[in-house]
Amino acid sequence: MVKFLPEEEVVEPEISDADSFGGLKGQDPKMRRMFALLTDIAATDATVIIEGETGTGKELVAEEIHKHSPRVNGPFVVFDCGAVPHELIESALFGHMKGAFTGAVADRKGAFAEANAGTIFLDEIGELSPDLQPALLRVLDKRAVRRVGGNQYDRVDVRVVAATNRDLREEVVRRNFREDLYYRLAVIRIVLPPLRERGMDIPYLADHFVEAFSPKGHPLTIPPEEMARLQRHSWPGNVRELRNVIERACVLSKGDSINLDDAFLGTEAAPSLGIRTDLPFKEAKGQLVEFFEREYIVDLMRRHKMNLSSAAREAQIDRKHLRELIRKYDIDSRSG
């Protein structure tokens, strides 16, 4: 048996001179390189998958791709694959006919039909159950949808952008995600860097948020000691967490500068028990999982003195997945 697999090509675009791409902002070379890539791909109809930790701005990237595309005057439809009950997701995506099931009292268009002539953003695509993945693959291949209870396909003209905080390649290895669907989605693959890997962006973004959230006519400043405090923080919630902290600090400010004591809400240290009740459930859970992964892999590789094979055997995970986690959390191969 001969099996052919597409080879994923890593593209390193030139660094953009701009420090923003629409609502996306960043001075770090990682971000400016991504801005150059987004400029190139936005003008196309290529399917895009965006990977990154919670809070890195995946939906904002999808919005800006749409806004900078020829489809800007068409709809931008967001569909959260993890928020719709399993029994309703097929109807919500593809639509249904009257009488197709109990409660279907009228014909209904699905998210794909609503996004016709525009862009559909499939958030949390990694949460899509395996039994529904073939139906999505057919839509991507045919560019046509069949409503639940219907017997014909209706053409749709949509651009597909998907996002996930999972490692879909590892999900393919574990047979939780179809390999053919992954390659159909990953025509262009964008990985958003976490804020902790964008050190020079923390003061830049903090100043930007302070300017945005300062009371009207009363601009606030960030004292040097508070800026240093922001730069020491690990930011498990990434840019979204930074934005929330600065907004709270501005609201609670009593003078001409911000104070972070109340704004951090006791979350300044990386969470030891990991429970963030000031965040939506899904985001708090995602942060806890990422914190666990980081601590587990760092300690695992330290004990095995960076021996990949030995560590993978003990952890009972695939070597390739372990290598990607080491890269994801920027573990120094010279440590240990």
C-alpha–C-alpha distance, residues 168 and 184, integer Å: 12
Are residues 249 and 263 in contact, defined by beta-carbon separation less than 8 angstroms? Answer: yes
Top CATH class of 196-252 equals mainly alpha
Provide the CATH topology of domain 20-193.
Rossmann fold (3.40.50)
Distance CA 229, CA 302 (A): 28
Alpha-carbon separation of residue 32 from 20, 198, 199, 205, 239 (angstroms)? 8, 11, 14, 14, 16
Q: Span 285-308, mean pLDDT?
A: 82
Best-predicted range by mean pLDDT (20-24, 146-150, 294-298, 305-309): 20-24
Sketch the domain layout of the chain as residue ranges: 20-193, 196-252, 281-328
For residue 24, the model assigns a pLDDT of 96
pLDDT for 8 equals 58
| Backbone conformation region of residue 276, classed left if phi is above 0, alpha if psi is from -120 to 50, else beta | beta
Mean pLDDT calculated for residue range 88-105: 88
pTM for this predicted structure: 0.76
* Residue 173 φ then ψ, to 5°: -60, -40
φ, ψ (nearest 5 deg) of residue 188:
-120, 125
> CA 220, CA 206: separation in Å to the nearest integer?
11
Q: Rounded to an integer, what distance in angstroms lies between the CA atom of residue 135 and that of residue 158?
A: 16
What's the mean pLDDT in 69-88?
93
The pair of structure tokens assigned to 297 is 């892999």
Q: Is the pLDDT of residue 161 over 90?
A: yes
The answer to whether residues 226 and 259 touch, using CB atoms and an 8 Å cutoff, is: yes
> From the CB of residue 304, how many other CB atoms can be counted at a distance below 10 Å?
17
